[in-house]
Structure 1
Amino acid sequence: MTNTIPQDLPLRNDLIGEVPYGAPQLDVPVCLNVNENPYQPEPAVVDEIAERVRQVAPTLNRYPDREHTALREAFARYLKRESGVWLDVGQIWGANGSNEIMLQVFQAFGGPGRKALGADPTYSMYPEYARDTFTQWLTVPRRDDFTLDLDALLRAMGREKPAIVLLTSPNNPTGTILPMDDLEAVLKASAEIGVAGAKDGVHPVVVVDEAYIEFRDPGMPTALELLGRYPNLAVSRTMSKAFAFAGARVGYLAASPGIIDCVRIVRMPYHLSAVTQATALAALEHTDEQLAQVSHLRETREATADWLKHQTWHGQPLKVADSQSNFLLFGGSFDDRDRIFDELLKRGVLIRVVGPEGWLRVCMGIDEEMARFREALTEVLAQLEHE
């Protein structure tokens, strides 16, 4: 999209030259670029959603429950089932996607003179939350295998005294999981340092973004299990990914009541519409159906990773980052990844140019889509190798 902003508009100086964030939305047969669950809701779920919306439609002349209490109760029941962690309503907060959750976190704890610290490569929206809230965004590099360099992060925490330490598990775009021992080390360190621009005795908030956590292998822990021991921990979740609900835009935060109350200060009044709340409640009533394909998508991820590792580029096997998500970062040595992306797109397959140079990311689709991806990538690599 071209920039059509007139020069005489008083756009903030720091936004001049910026373009809106977003992955390409193209009408192609195989879309494997935005990490969606590719399986549509079952007809019973669609019917339940329609019925719930029909029930609230006559009340749309009134504002919705601004505390979305019923939805928070439903989130609590889901988290108890999914992770074995029981939380009170006061420990949960919902919003329009985890994007809004993260923006509210930055609004509450960031701001002029404040810093947020992450580990690169990571989700490309984090710098934009920081920019939009006048928060300084800092990162430490991950190791070559994309695992967290814990020592580097702890040193940066002590040096920079951030208000927010933001870690992602599984990490986007790499799929890397965050070990609980590393997270505990970060949480313990955060209790010993101050926050630049804050009064004495204030400590950083540690936020773990678990947007893709349902795709982890069974038995792997979640940061939710540490909430009872660390009051400065906050865990972000979403219904967009494993829950097959990206179009509904529903995310939520689990944290101490104190953190939730801080976020409530900056939320817009009635930010979750009655329709959004009804839709989310209907989907949560059908958790089994919504998550029915998660195990198959895990299997697809593992099979695709194995297949990619047997492909070559300039005589060397492709690298594939270890992933606990529904996507794979692959390549590692592509000297013109944009050309590979374009050639795949010509064949009707849309993936993502993201992450470090030399890498591409593909998310898991239905079986027929993955077959077409494999076929197209084989053609493209062979063509470019012989040019």
Structure 2
Amino acid sequence: MTAEPLTTPRSRTEYEVRLAALRARMAEQDLTAVALASPENVYYLTGLDHLGYFAFTLLLVPAEGAPIVVTREMERPTVRAQIPGCRHRTFADGSDPADAVAAVLAEEVPPGRSIAIEDAAMFFPPSISKRVRVRLPNRIWRDGTTLLSSARAVKSTAEIDLVKRAAAVSDAAMSVAISTAGHGVSEAELAATIHYTMYRAGGHQPGFAPLIRPLSMLDQEHVTWGDRVLEAGTGIFVELSGCVRRYHAPLSRTVYIGHAPAGAEEAHQAALAGLEAARQALRPRARTGQVYAAWQHAVTATTAGVWPSRHHCGYLVGIGFPPSWVGGGEVLGIRAGGDVLIEAGMTFHLMSWVTGHVVSDTALVTPTGARLLTTTSRELTVVG
């Protein structure tokens, strides 16, 4: 049985351009089909935006004809409503998704032809991938993990507009977080006000929940709020991102309760120097390693080199689905020795961590340099 054809949407110009670009790369590599599993890649090519990605979902792009999406049967109405230009193949709960995938590929890819598969273990479990290959022994299997990486890295005008809107949501949420923080306020209260503000400001569910924790727990990088209460003489770290149509613009600030401890001002100035140096170095034709070196030099020069190094000073951002706003399992970071070429249209979360103090913003690379899209005050922040 062939995959079910769906109706043609009224206007899909940007998605059509992306699909055509992918097919051009497929032709260059002699690929008959590409199988993509990460929600970010599926969304990039089709616009499928829902929470059903927790169950196996696969987008199959043949060299010709409409793309085919494979999902649980339960997702049929969502797929029909959101991506009518795609064909749809479903599997029932309790059945093997590999059967549905193999059946479609058998129809689309003749024996002896090549299929590229995205290596996204979280969303395309190796066990399912293996069973698909066993069912189709006469095809050539290739790695398609990076086929969309460069295309997704450089944002279109429409995508940049969404990142800018997400940045405005981020600023609104951070502003209310700072105004709410104070002695006796719980971390949960901060989280509640942040979430409320995000959605009232036009944001959608972000890939990460806001990260809120005391500076004593700063090294526990991906934990968030608890039932702790803010106390005078302590500091709180807040990292969050607004999200508009799955595009993100993270920022973070360090907030001190009552008064700033000894050394905070020095750490703050070092962090600001690093952020500005990274921003200035983030320009077309530069390499990520050069940006990291500029950040590290600025930070260490501030205090005769006593600050410890960090593994990166930022990373590429854009489309993100839970549980991440970085756009998938791989983090394209600004690291020591990095050789990734910077291009206009890229958006990065620039992060400057110095001992127990952090400041970060989302930056857009323009033809002449980088501009910070998040604008919350970068002054040393002390609240009552």
Structure 2 length normalisation: TM-score?
0.25
The answer to which structure has the higher helix fraction is: 1
The answer to which structure has the higher strand fraction is: 2
Q: Which has the larger Rg?
A: 2
Does 1 or 2 have the higher relative contact order (CA < 8 Å, sep 6+)? 1
Structure 1 length normalisation: TM-score?
0.25
